């Protein structure tokens, strides 16, 4: 359920921007059926209320030499808030970790890690991840192929 202050036009704006965050305000306004000034006001309001967090380019990792993507499932010794925070702070400083999600269940965190090759991932694993605060085990799965990756959430467009 959308926030009560987000209407159908806002959802349409968000959907269009998820697909192409570089479009001009004039182009966006045309697509959502507004004139440019009210469209820009709505976009700014969506940014200010936190519905839009950021804009970024989706780069091709392989073109930049990152040929390996690994998902690491991390279990911690303790789930006390201070221990969780210490682990999250450690992970926040590791640029190879592109995503970190705390989970419910047997695994405490799942991480998306990129590396240039298997050897550099192994170095990362043994020198930065397994010695991290409170880590008891790390299970990894190397991706073979990515068949779907979409930003954001499903919105009507």
One domain, residues 36 and 85: no
Q: Which DSSP state fits 1?
A: -
One domain, residues 94 and 23: no
One domain, residues 23 and 75: no
Q: Return d(Cα 121, Cα 115) in angstroms, integer.
A: 5
Number of domains in the chain: 2
The pLDDT of residue 2: 58
CATH of the domain at 20: 1.10.10.10
**Residue 152 covered by a domain:** no
One domain, residues 73 and 110: yes
Tokens standing for 68?
Answer: 């390996």
8 Ramachandran zone, left/alpha/beta (phi>0; psi -120 to 50): alpha
Enclosing domain of residue 81:
61-142
**Residue 89 covered by a domain:** yes
One domain, residues 27 and 89: no
The predicted-structure confidence for 83-97, as pLDDT tens digits, reads as follows: 999 999 999 999 999
The predicted-structure confidence for 17-52, as pLDDT tens digits, reads as follows: 999 999 999 999 999 999 999 999 999 999 999 999
Q: Return d(Cα 33, Cα 111) in angstroms, integer.
A: 40
Q: Is the pTM of this model over 0.75?
A: yes
């Amino acid at each position: 359920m959308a926030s009560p202050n987000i209407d159908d036009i806002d959802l349409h704006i968000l959907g269009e921007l998820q697909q192409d965050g570089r479009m001009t305000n004039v182009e966006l306004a045309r697509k959502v059926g507004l004139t440019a000034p009210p469209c820009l006001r709505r976009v700014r309001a969506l940014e200010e209320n936190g519905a839009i967090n950021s804009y970024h380019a989706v780069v091709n990792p392989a073109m930049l030499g990152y040929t390996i993507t690994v998902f690491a499932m991390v279990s911690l010794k303790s789930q006390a808030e201070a221990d969780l925070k210490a682990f999250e702070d450690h992970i926040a400083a590791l640029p190879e970790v592109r995503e970190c999600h705390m989970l419910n269940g047997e695994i405490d965190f799942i991480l998306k890690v990129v590396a240039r090759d298997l050897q550099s991932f192994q170095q990362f694993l043994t020198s930065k991840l397994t010695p991290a605060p409170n880590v008891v085990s790390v299970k990894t799965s190397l991706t073979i192929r990515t068949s779907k990756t979409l930003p954001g959430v499903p919105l009507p467009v």
